[in-house]
Amino acid sequence: MATRFLWRTGKKLALVSTAVCVGGAAATVATSDDPETALKLFTAVPLRLAHGSVTAASIAFDYEYALWGLPEGSVEREKVKHEVHLRSARKLQELCFRNGGIYIKLGQHIGQLEYLVPQEYVQTMRESMLNRCPVSSYDQVCQVFKKELGETPDKIFSEFDPAPIASASLAQVHVARTHDGQKVAVKVQHTHMTDTAAADHATVDFVVTTLHWFFPSFDYRWLLDEMSESLPKELNFLVEAKNSEKCLDNFRKLSPHIAEYVYVPMVYWNLSTSKLLTMEFMDGPQVNDVKTIQKLGIQPNEVAKLVSQAFAEMMFKHGFVHCDPHAANLLVRPLPSSKSSILGKKKPQLIILDHGLYKELDFHTRTNYAALWKALIFADANAIKENSVKLGAGEDLYALFAGILTMRPWNRVVDSSVDHLVVQGTDNDRSELQMYASQYFSQISELLRRLPRVILLMLKTNDCLRTVNNSLLQGSSPHTFLIIGKVSSEALIEARLLQQKSLLRWLSVWLDEILLEARLFGMRIALWLLQLRKALC
């Protein structure tokens, strides 16, 4: 009975969704000013929707049928659930590659939500989505150039390599040289993104919403809400160009002490449009290429500290955060103005690429988030609860929120030891975290439903940074947490200074800053002693 019902449900979902889309596409062709493009939509969109609907129905059917009758919490159910997760992740992966465009973007989002979605999905998407993105032909690239700048690339540049050096879900990058000899990177939007972006978003939304209606436990509508807000901005490369300049300007004005160590490629505005972006070409290894970084005379732990500080400054002081800091978007090079030390070591400079996805934190969200991280670093249980509640986690899920942010169980979060938040990156640590995520999956879903979307993007950013740190250090380091504690505390002190009026209150803030430095100094000494003891043992 259940099997027949689910099968009929899958068929109805595919047929109804396709019928809806065919009707909409037919109306588009009839009223469009561009019949050729409209005809492409008419032929492509219903097929893409049908693929999505069938895949969604197949995944839903697999879960319900495979888990039918297995007791909740049993070893057998957990084993079968792992197998279904893996099968379903591969089906979703195949759909993303078949349809491309927004589907690839969705897969990339899932691959960066470590421990927020089942690990099988994260692993499957992470292993493929950044390396197998679609590539537009040179003819398609020329079409974009003609439409945007009126000429083909060979006329606009003295040199233009028709083979892209990188391709992502929304665009690909070509190396070129301007007529005055400057080497540049040219980002060209995939033509199909323009044709099908709106329709693809509607179809993905339809499938996910319908699945949630049939199976309430499947609720990733929050991810679609976020994509619907961020995608139009990411598809406008002029927004990306403005974001890149604002990012660099924020470091110069608000974080001048590390501005020299953070770099953003210069934009060539006269050669940029909403679908073309021409930037200074940057040469350097990705942040996870440890061997090349070491060959440059740069220590990986120094890069990890710089990445932690740069993004802590963005989150807690600037309130303007790059939300896609995966390894391909972070390059490293020796600081141009620095000289090698006696040991031949050089200071690193972090180059930040791809500025399409940013989030702004308002004053209260930024200060509450900074206060929460300060509390996490200093293991202050009362402050963790207070600020988690302020950010929307509620009094019942604040401990889970702290666990997701730190990837540590609650007893470790509130441990007073200096290295209480350190994750070693071992198989045992990963197994513990995956078990923790699986055990509280329903509560995690409820927490994600409650949290503001901007905080969900901060979770994604944290996961990206955690992955970067793991590649540099094979785990995390107490030194990076001390940096986060220092920057978050400084941000709170600066916020209080803005609100203080009297000299007496200003002195109170000044004393708080002295106490902070003393506390951090004590933690550094404790950390040094801990490391010395480990070395002696």
Residue type, 172: Q
Spatial CA neighbour of 317 closest among 258, 229, 376, 264:
258
Rg (CA), the chain: 25
Listing DSSP states for 259-306 in one string gives GGGEE-PPB-GGG--SSEEEEE-----BTT-HHHHHHTT--HHHHHHH
Helix/strand/coil (H, E, C) string of 84-107?
HHHHHHHHHHHHHHHHCCHHHHHH
177 strand-pairing partners: 159, 183
Residue type, 99: N
CB within 8 Å of 344: residues ≥ 6 apart: 297
- Map tokens 């449900």 to a residue: 9
Q: How far apart are CA 290 and CA 298, in angstroms?
A: 9
| Helices marked H in 391-452 | 398-406, 410-413, 427-439, 441-450
- Count the Cβ atoms, other than its own, within 10 Å of residue 19: 12
Residue type, 383: A
Considering the candidates 195, 200, 324, 419, report the single residue annotated as catalytic: 324
Element (H, E) at 278: strand 276-280
Is residue 301 within 8 A of residue 331, CB to CB? The reply is: no
Q: How far apart are CA 60 and CA 106, in angstroms?
A: 18
Print burial letters for 501-516: b (CB count within 10 Å at least 16), e (below 16). Answer: eeeeeeeebeeeeeeb
Query: What's 114's DSSP letter?
Result: B
How do the residues of the chain divide into helix, strand and coil, expressed in percent and rounded to 5?
65, 10, 25
12: its two tokens: 């109805």
Is residue 98 within 8 A of residue 91, CB to CB? The reply is: no
φ/ψ of 338, rounded to 5, equals -95, 155
324 given a catalytic annotation: yes
Q: How far apart are CA 171 and CA 134, in angstroms?
A: 9
Q: How far apart are CA 77 and CA 82, in angstroms?
A: 9
Q: How far apart are CA 446 and CA 440, in angstroms?
A: 10
Q: How far apart are CA 83 and CA 338, in angstroms?
A: 52
- Rounded to an integer, what is the distance from CA 145 to the centroid of its chain? 29
Is residue 53 within 8 A of residue 208, CB to CB? The reply is: no
Is residue 168 within 8 A of residue 240, CB to CB? The reply is: no
Residues classed as catalytic: 324
